[in-house]
Structure 1
């Protein structure tokens, strides 16, 4: 697919918003990151009176062929489908946090190795019943890779048409930290050993096995394009998020980036269209060891660091009220002039 993403550049508006921020009844810079977020969202929306409408988190679920062997994951592949049911029944952390913060939550079957049939609340975007094991062959075909990108983009378009202007992404997929580690290594040129963490709970020798397996996988392929990279190493949920991120930026939505897996999708999206970063706010620093290195590579600062590494979009849901605070202070806080307070 071809995306047309515009770099945000309006020096006159930027000056207007910054002056509005600086003239609030506070010392200049005293609200720290809130000021940066307010300026960014104002620039995205091309106004000094930005508003947030129908915040939404899309959780993409998919299975990974390598997970069937159990070498890189402590939980069986069946947990992916079980957690999708948990999401649909409202029992997961992301359900609780979205309900608390009035965020719409949508669950997407990108490629779970399970037949859900016709079930209320699940968006059926299944590409296949999980990817292939990239120890032996490409995770997906070129056709499947393109289909995943398109479906991710289409779901975001539907969300935008439903009134949302701020969106975040979450994921569920046993084995997806392995795909994310491979993507991270490729795009940041970081050795696999420094990309691989505990995932869903590996420790000690098990992490070394995971590092060894993924190093062998990494050395098996020679991708020459970004699509090659996604096709060889990606998961359906990760590739779908690449398309989702790119379309959200094309539609000038504010994008909240979650943790390790979502950021791996962003690395690919950024490599394809660097302008996408103008639209991204980084929710948190994940407890997964590679995530901070990803943020350092992108030269981005997250809003919070709570040591979370659950995925599901939970970091995004926790950070969202901070983003609301940035908009509220910009739109509602008195200026020195309106409050009759001396500014010097």
Structure 2
């Protein structure tokens, strides 16, 4: 894919430094679990999560201390086509709610012990600077993809590199695991378009109700996405072209978060439909990035289960959630940390003076 990278040294360097993850290559993690005073394999997927976490980290000596959930916000010109039940201003209003720590993601992040990083990537109106907000915006939302490209190729690359930059900034005070989150009225529409193109699936399969559309509105949404794909003809062999033509600034930022975290061997906990669209682009740019993804849940949004199957990921939870914000990722981080703590803190057969039937 060398044609993707000209004049993109930062992105190219990040991709070139992503390593393959080998799952417990020496068998040390399994050996440790086998010493614990439980029947072998009885912790099920919690053992799997601890194994994935420590395989990514490459060491059994690290726990999880620095947990951060990135909630990236951006607006979409395609809202002019009537693809959302909510007005565009709700993006700005929800960002302000995140800053005030009154949203669902704030509640679940507090429970998880995670910091929420709120980022304005392209909200259509100006949000005053605040200690709880990172402003990375250079444009006020994308263009209407039903009429032409959502953004330029240059802007698409810039959005990815913005996400990489966020990882580099947050590494300064510690970063052990990240959760992906989003906010953007109408952003299920570009996400459906991205999956339809890169996943080679029919638009009707990739498209759901978003903010709660009725059947008639869903059919209109499908028609808008089909029109956008027909007009823009995004190249499925060029993920940046797909992002530029039918994507969004916050989705590009999520792509960058995925690539930047993978470069530093940081596990990436996917949230729902929009964050998984970004993950699909990231894995198309560099398949090794997919080794770092953990699917927190399967969304109630119709296409999400197909996205996860496409990525080869089995979700941890099925709660019929479809909120976004990083809410599913917060729950997923809880489960991953539970697996890690069990491996580190449980007594062995010898410690607990329990007979070991396997010795």
**Structure 2-normalised TM-score?**
0.92
Partner of 1:200 in structure 2?
211
CA distance in 1, matches of 2:108, 2:351: 37
Contact between 1:5 and 1:276, CA under 8 Å: does it hold in 2?
Answer: yes
Question: Residues 39-188 of structure 1 correspond to what in structure 2 (within 5 A)?
Answer: 39-69=51-81, 71-188=82-199
Contact between 1:94 and 1:313, CA under 8 Å: does it hold in 2?
Answer: yes
CA distance in 2, matches of 1:297, 1:125: 31
Asked if residue 230 in structure 1 is aligned to residue 243 in structure 2, the reply is yes
Deviation above 6 Å: which 4+ runs of structure 1? none
Partner of 2:38 in structure 1?
26
Structure 2 gaps of 5+ residues are: 1-10
Asked if residue 324 in structure 1 is aligned to residue 337 in structure 2, the reply is yes
Contact between 2:23 and 2:52, CA under 8 Å: does it hold in 1?
Answer: no
CA distance in 2, matches of 1:334, 1:120: 43
The structural deviation recorded for 1:59 is 0.5
Partner of 2:257 in structure 1?
244
Partner of 1:216 in structure 2?
227
Structure 1 gaps of 5+ residues are: none
DSSP-derived class of the 1:309 partner: coil
DSSP-derived class of the 1:61 partner: strand
Structure 1 vs Structure 2 CA RMSD:
1.3
TM-superposition CA deviations, 1:235-294 (whole Å, max 9, x none): 100011101110000011111111110000000101111111221211111110111111
CA distance in 1, matches of 2:103, 2:356: 48
Partner of 1:276 in structure 2?
289
Contact between 1:127 and 1:236, CA under 8 Å: does it hold in 2?
Answer: no
Asked if residue 291 in structure 1 is aligned to residue 304 in structure 2, the reply is yes
DSSP-derived class of the 2:344 partner: helix
Count of matched residue positions in the alignment of Structure 1 and Structure 2:
342
Contact between 2:75 and 2:186, CA under 8 Å: does it hold in 1?
Answer: yes
Contact between 1:127 and 1:144, CA under 8 Å: does it hold in 2?
Answer: no
CA distance in 2, matches of 1:330, 1:321: 14
Contact between 2:76 and 2:187, CA under 8 Å: does it hold in 1?
Answer: yes
Partner of 1:308 in structure 2?
321
Contact between 2:24 and 2:55, CA under 8 Å: does it hold in 1?
Answer: no
Contact between 2:74 and 2:122, CA under 8 Å: does it hold in 1?
Answer: yes
CA distance in 2, matches of 1:189, 1:93: 33
The structural deviation recorded for 1:11 is 5.6
Partner of 2:346 in structure 1?
333
DSSP-derived class of the 2:119 partner: strand
**Structure 1-normalised TM-score?**
0.96
The structural deviation recorded for 1:48 is 2.2
